[in-house]
Amino acid sequence: MIIRSRAAALARARRERGASALEYAAVIVIAGALLALIVGTGAFQTIGDSVQRAVCGLFQGPDACAEQDTAAPDGAPVSGDPDEGANEGPVDDDRPLPDPTTRPPDDPGPVDQGQVDDTRRFIREYLDFEPGFWPWEWDGPDSLELYQRLMNLTGPELDAALAGLSEDELRELFASPVGINLVAEHIRRNASLDTLRRLGAANAFPLDPRFDNVGSDTADTARYGEVPGGQLFGGPNNDQISIEDINQQALSDCWWMASLGATAQHEPGRIRDMIVENPNGTFTVTFPDGEAVTVTPDLPLSENGNPVFAGTRGNPPVLWPAIMEKALAQRDGGYEQVEVDSFTRGMEILTGNESDSRDSGDVSLSELAEMHRNGDAIAFNTPSMDDAEGPRYDGQPDPPDLNNFHFYVVTGVNEQTGEVTLYNPWGRNHRTVNHSELDEAFVQMQSNNFG
């Protein structure tokens, strides 16, 4: 039995050839018998619930079949809420393109051509099948079998099987119940980047998060592409993580960049453990809540070939901040969904532990110093332009010494001098302020102790 809409199939068949009185009578008799059987056994609700869960799981994934929370998501447009930060950074688009690496491609491994041919043949049978009018004409290629066949293919076998399908066939395949959530993650982790890019170009299934609705005009001409020579982490052994890697650009996600920076400063191992580089060149990011998101290395690039959102500093370019940004965007439904939010939420996403916030003037110098010594992630956010007051915002320099509506990460506290060192997620324009200035220059202190 296949998991398809029998009602739709019957309606289509009736439209195409009509129905006689005898056929109507036969359908009524069969339907009556089935209904009597179902009601008589008390299975009606169970079957209905099972069908609903099955259909929901096939189309939306199993997690989407629980009771849905219809509350509005976080990250609303800039509202002046002092609990959020939204100031985007400048885009560094003048850097020369890095030299590409000459890493040889991975061994594609063996291909069972017979299994590939059988799977492709089964896919076409599945796509071509049209259930007839009568119940005995409903039996055709099974969705579950198609799912199992695709899941059993290795990366090279997926490449071979999908390469033989037209763009129309690919779109139809991944529009069917077996498509998006059941096998897309398997394909992302195993198929070659060439296959994945072909699927994305054909609009077969969502490959990369959209960025056409972000607030910055800089992204208007951006296109997805791979950063030449990029590596996941820094250093000669591809294993170094630093707050200096953070470089927010044309996306108002200072809250997320600040959270990544604070984590890199105090517990870089958390980030290292969250990201796995797959053999096919994709990256799987597993969040503390257990949700895993696989993304390609392709990033939104300017016409000069440089990233327009999270920058890739270093030589070779370091990718992890951009990969973490892209993974969150893919999880949340697009880059615009990660614009404007709080450091508290960013740290909760990264740690799974509750954050704290308080007025910036409510923390003493000794308490702030102790929190920093204990390795807490700490950030201060500045007020909106309308609410900003004091020497850090008035007069010269222009623009102000501190950026409005922005998060700064605490990287040092000197109890002797009262100085507090702040890292700007832009990767530049870092500041040192005195503890006595915190109440006037900032709105809140937000923190997380990593649990």
> Which residue numbers are catalytic?
254, 406, 424
User: How far lies 42's CA from each of 32, 38, 39, 46, in Å?
Assistant: 15, 6, 5, 8
Run of H or E including 226 = strand 223-226
Q: How far is CA 76 from the centre of its chain?
A: 17
- Helices 180-190 and 193-201 sit at what angle, rounded to 10 degrees? 140
How far is residue 293's CA from residue 209's CA, in Å, rounded to a whole number? 12
Q: How far is CA 426 from the centre of its chain?
A: 22
Residue owning tokens 């993580």: 241
Phi, psi dihedral angles at 444 (to 5 degrees): -140, 155
Q: How far is CA 366 from the centre of its chain?
A: 39
HSE on the CB side for 383, CA within 13 Å? Answer: 16
Answer for the pair 262, 342: CB distance below 8 angstroms, yes or no: no
How far is residue 383's CA from residue 406's CA, in Å, rounded to a whole number? 8
User: How far lies 248's CA from each of 92, 191, 272, 315, 325, in Å?
Assistant: 10, 31, 20, 18, 10
Report the 10 Å Cβ neighbour count for 75. 20
Report the 10 Å Cβ neighbour count for 79. 11
Phi, psi dihedral angles at 108 (to 5 degrees): -65, -20
How far is residue 209's CA from residue 336's CA, in Å, rounded to a whole number? 9
Which residues touch 76 (CB under 8 Å, ≥6 apart)?
Answer: 340
Answer for the pair 219, 308: CB distance below 8 angstroms, yes or no: yes
DSSP code at position 219? G
